[in-house]
Amino acid sequence: MLRLFLLLLAAIPATAALPPEYTAICQGFQTQNPKGWSFTQTTTAEGRTLVEHYDAAQPEFNRWTLLEENGRPPTEDQAREYQQKFTRRSGGGNAPGIAQQLNLDTAELVTEDAERVAYRFQLKTGEDGDKTAAFLRATVTFHKATRSIEKFEIANIEVFNPVFGVKIRELLTALHYHLPADGRPALLDKVTTRTRGRAFFKSLDADMLVTYRDYTWAGKKPPAASRPPSP
């Protein structure tokens, strides 16, 4: 009986103050890509695949280009319609930092080894009084050597009803990042979302995968991480 109790106790995440170096990383980190980077984005959802290119060097409202839809280049009409609908999309840098989303005082140590450490956090309640945050937890995986965030995940901890008639069994958003290297900061690698639930008699089940590739720097100067330090 004592052995069983000790095993159960070991399985409970340990509440621990978030070390200052990880607090600083959270405070300076945004979930979207930093400004100045161009990339190709592939989105797969609901049986449809879109391949798009974001060119950070173009004027703000002309940065997105549709390359393929369901494996085929767009027709002139499709390209025109796409431009009309999507030219006002942002390429990054506008999302709130994760420190504004997380209650850093609720840090729970989940796992740790020589290369990575993961903490779980409660989310802050929105100003509009939305109670959904109480049913969600965020897990942040830090890469020690590069002092960067490698994965940011938000998932529900139990079934919940965000509004009347809606029941969510599973909710997951997971963002994975390329580690900083060769002068590049942490850049998005892929985003995975998964929803399982119902709204009255309608299914809300949905999956989406967004992948990012072909990153190039479009700024006038190389990013700070790639410039040699001042003498």
Q: Report, in angstroms and rounded to the nearest whole number, the Rg of the chain calculated over CA atoms.
A: 21
13, 54, 140, 223 from 25: Cα distances, Å: 22, 26, 11, 18
Q: What pTM does this model have? A: 0.83
Give pLDDT tens digits for 125-172: 876 667 799 999 999 999 999 999 999 999 999 999 998 999 999 999
Look at residues 138, 131, 144, 132 and name the one whose alpha carbon lies nearest to residue 108. 138
Q: CA neighbours within 13 Å on the CB side: how many for 151?
A: 14
- Give the helix/strand (H/E) hosting 41: strand 37-45
Query: How far apart are the C-alpha atoms of 110 and 15, rounded to whole Å?
Result: 9
Torsional sign, CA 30, 45, 67, 183: positive
pLDDT single digits (tens) 50-104:
999 999 999 888 899 999 999 999 999 999 889 887 655 555 445 667 888 899 9
Q: Which of 173, 171, 176 is nearest to 211 (CA)?
A: 176
